[in-house]
Amino acid sequence: MVRGIKSSIKNMARRFGLEIKINDIKSRDDLRLVHFLNLFDIRLVLDVGANIGQFAESLFEEGYNGRVVSFEALPEAHAELSRAAEKFGSRWTVAPRMALSDRAGEASFHVTATDTASSLFRPSDSFVSVSPQGQHVQTIKVPTARLDDMVEDLDLNGPGLFLKLDVQGGEPMVLSGAPKVLAASTGLMTEFSLVSLYEDQPPSRDVLETIYAADFEVWDVFRGYRNPNTHRLNQVDLICFKNIVIDGPSKESR
């Protein structure tokens, strides 16, 4: 009887273009991610490509109790990110403004109409043609650094480390500059391109090779950007953890 009522409600909602889902860990990526972080006793999240702090704020809102260190290259986004982190005190640290890469120095950074698509790589014409918000608007110079070189300066040592990457095609470069961090990390979340959206973007297979070489296994896949014309899935987020023994289920999974 109850199942029939639920089915009727869903069917009625679909007539109006709506989809009703149960609000729980099975249907929400954010709840599932925090569950994983608790399950693996993650104490420090490195938020690379933080923009204005949406990712970290979501973690805290859904019950993550550890620390976050965020990295962002865009000046305006970095300033807003720093303001967002202030209310969390020592739980949320913002690193000096930089783009993490495979070398220290300076690089051209391509700013787009929506800053969440900005990258060390220029958006491709095919990407912009279907997503005008990815239009290139200016190029700025930003400092670059290797993540491994930042570990001591930012006190990133210790157990329970999780690395999150959202750098619009630059993931292979960040990973290339972070072998020590990868070796020390328990978990990894990285944007993974199924289709190249940027000019001269390194091949995504480099990301997979690095993940498996570092003994990570894929635990989940979150859907990301989809081509609005063809509806082909262009990007996903891979959630990975190393194959370690877990004492038991976390509180959220009981």
pLDDT digits (tens, 9 = 90+) for 151-206: 877 666 667 999 999 999 999 999 999 999 999 999 999 999 999 999 999 988 89
pLDDT of residue 4: 53
Q: What is the pLDDT of residues 120-160, one digit of tens each?
A: 999 999 999 999 999 999 999 999 999 999 887 766 666 79
Its pTM stands at: 0.88
pLDDT of residue 22: 72
User: β-strands 92-94, 67-71: how paired?
Assistant: parallel
pLDDT of residue 246: 61
Q: What is the pLDDT of residues 85-102, one digit of tens each?
A: 999 999 999 999 999 999
* Complete domains list, the chain, with CATH: 24-253 (3.40.50.150)
pLDDT of residue 24: 80
pLDDT of residue 6: 46
The C-alpha atoms of residue 162 and residue 175 are separated, in whole angstroms, by 13
pLDDT of residue 58: 97
The C-alpha atoms of residue 193 and residue 113 are separated, in whole angstroms, by 20
Please name which of 244, 44, 35, 55 lies closest in space to residue 163, comparing C-alpha atoms: 44
- The amino acid at 56: A
pLDDT of residue 157: 64
pLDDT of residue 158: 67
Is the distance from CB of 241 to CB of 217 less than 8 angstroms?
Answer: yes
Give the DSSP H/E element, type plus range, for residue 216.
strand 216-223
Count of other CB atoms within 10 angstroms of residue 249: 11
Give the DSSP H/E element, type plus range, for residue 55.
helix 54-61
Mean pLDDT of the chain: 89
Percent over 90 (pLDDT), the chain = 79
> What are the two backbone dihedrals, phi and then psi, of residue 202, each rounded to the nearest 5 degrees?
-60, 150
Comparing 20-29, 53-62, 188-197, the range with the smallest average pLDDT is 20-29
Provide the β-strand partners of residue 220.
Answer: 239
List the structure tokens of 60: 């805290």
pLDDT of residue 27: 86
All residues at 6 or more sequence positions from 164 whose CB lies less than 8 Å from its CB, including other chains: 45, 46, 47, 48, 49, 55, 188, 189, 190
